[in-house]
Structure 1
Amino acid sequence: MKISIITVCYNSEKTIENTIESVISQTYNNVEYIVIDGDSIDNTLNIIKKHQSRIEKWISEPDKGLYDAMNKGIALATGDIIGVLNSDDIFHSEIVLEEIAKFHHENSIDASIGNIVQINQNGKIVRKYSAKNWKPNKLKIGFMPAHPAIFFKRELFDRFGLYQLDYTIGADYELITRFFLKNKITWKFSYITTTSMLIGGLSSSGLSSYRLISKEIKKALTRNNIPFNYTKVKLRGFWKIVGFLNKV
């Protein structure tokens, strides 16, 4: 079973080498690594070239943003399974892809969903995010599993389409809604902690960002003909607190 891993980057010189090394150090050897660079103007491209013997495919050219770059990576992928590793994240351990391959081999599913952890600059875990209790219906109130913890069969993108480019920050939400709710793909929680995500940098948790993603959640659910209550979507911060307190 071949696994394609896609990393999208732009001016990522501070973190991209750790990301690349976490892929090429995986114990699983049937990995196709694809790096899509958005025409970086810092040292990112030199770092990619330094490791190009271990990167199956890479391109560096202007794009229309993150999701356009991800679509380029998917178009290049030839693996049975596709996963995404962001340019400031690393795999949680060297055996993650070995565990993912084993899980997909043992389960006849379209996608697996795992866990992530968030780490600080010193590598210390500051938060754990589990999808153990997530169900597709939670998309209707604004909750999705962590995108890097999802591994999809490549054929799903051929059948149901790629990331839509008319979203600012919600194209991953729309794609997950389209796959899991509209087309009801088969999936299973893997219990695998796949990714260590670096915290810090510009915050995406401000009020303006919250309002924007609320609008894009509404847009995604409407586009896919999913019935929902927009008030509940806007109150998803409240549902998150209630869910945490009640461990739902």
Structure 2
Amino acid sequence: MKVSIVTVVFNCFRFIGPCIESVVSQDYLDIEYIMVDGGSVDGTISVIKKYMDNIDHFISDQDLGMYDALNKGIGMATGDLVGILNADDRLASVDVISSVVDCFRNMGCEAVYGNLKFIKRGKDCSITRNWKSKPYTPNDFLYGWMPPHPTLYIERSVLYTAGRYSLKFGTCADYDMILRLLYKNRVNAVFLDKLMVIMRKGGMSNGSVKKIVSAIINDYRVLVHNEIPNPLIALMLKKVRKLNQFFN
């Protein structure tokens, strides 16, 4: 079972090395690694070139943002399964991918997701949030639940059926994709109770007040687009659920 991992990067010189290392150190060998660079000018490409023997597909070109680049990367994927790893994140342990594959083989599912931890972005890598997920039912989406997108691995054929990431939802294109897959299309996704990804705080939709407000607006648009009843309630509960991550 081949696993395609897509990393999108733009000017991430400090963190792209550990990201790549976390992939190439996996104990599962049948991995197709795809790197899509948005035209970095900070030395990122020089780091990537050190790992070219471990990268199956690499392009560096201007794009319309992260999700446009993800669409390009997914379009190059040939694996049975597809997952995303952000450039400033890393897989949490060497057996993440082998555990994902075992879950697919044993459970007969179409998607797998797990747990995620946020750490500080600087030299102090202490944990700031612990996103402990759980098994779900489709009704959970009506009350603001969602799995951690960076932990989601999905059958490539199922992902293609759902379509591309929509650029009209900005940084919430991942939320739209998750609702499309798990809520509207009822994809059979299984929870793997394992820490899968270490994520650095300060991504596209977390950080500044401006980013947070923009994410709230786009979250609401995504909920309406995917025909979630009472979208305001779902939106408020989604934010409340996030508070639990600071106390787990």
Decide whether the 8 Å contact of 1:169 with 1:213 is kept in 2.
yes
Aligned to 1:3: 3
Decide whether the 8 Å contact of 1:28 with 1:95 is kept in 2.
yes
Comparing 210-219 with 143-152, which one deviates more in the overlay?
A: 210-219
Extract unaligned runs of 5+ from structure 1: none
What is the aligned-residue RMSD (CA, Å)? 2.4
TM-score (norm 2): 0.90
TM-score (norm 1): 0.90
Comparing 130-139 with 76-85, which one deviates more in the overlay?
A: 130-139
Aligned to 1:23: 23
1:216 paired with 2:190, answer: no
Q: Distance in 1 between matches of 2:154 and 2:130?
A: 22
Query: For residues 17 and 228 of structure 1, do their structure 2 counterparts lie closer, same or farther at Cα, with a shift above 3 Å needed?
Result: same
1:57 paired with 2:57, answer: yes
Comparing 159-168 with 136-145, which one deviates more in the overlay?
A: 136-145
Query: For residues 103 and 173 of structure 1, do their structure 2 counterparts lie closer, same or farther at Cα, with a shift above 3 Å needed?
Result: same
Q: Deviations over 1:188-215 (max 9, x none)?
A: 1111211111235888255443332232
- Paired amino acid for 2:5: I
Aligned to 2:101: 101
Q: Percent identity?
A: 35
Decide whether the 8 Å contact of 1:119 with 1:198 is kept in 2.
yes
Decide whether the 8 Å contact of 2:112 with 2:192 is kept in 1.
yes
Q: Deviations over 1:66-108 (max 9, x none)?
A: 0000001100001111111110111101111111111111111
User: Partner of 2:169: helix, strand, or coil?
Assistant: coil
User: Partner of 1:11: helix, strand, or coil?
Assistant: coil
User: Partner of 2:48: helix, strand, or coil?
Assistant: helix
Extract unaligned runs of 5+ from structure 2: none
Q: Deviations over 1:33-70 (max 9, x none)?
A: 00000011111111111110110111000000000000
Q: Distance in 2 between matches of 1:206 and 1:212?
A: 10
Decide whether the 8 Å contact of 1:142 with 1:217 is kept in 2.
no
Alignment size in residue pairs: 246
Q: Distance in 2 between matches of 1:244 and 1:56?
A: 35
What is the aligned counterpart of 2:186 among 158, 165, 184?
184
User: Partner of 1:233: helix, strand, or coil?
Assistant: helix
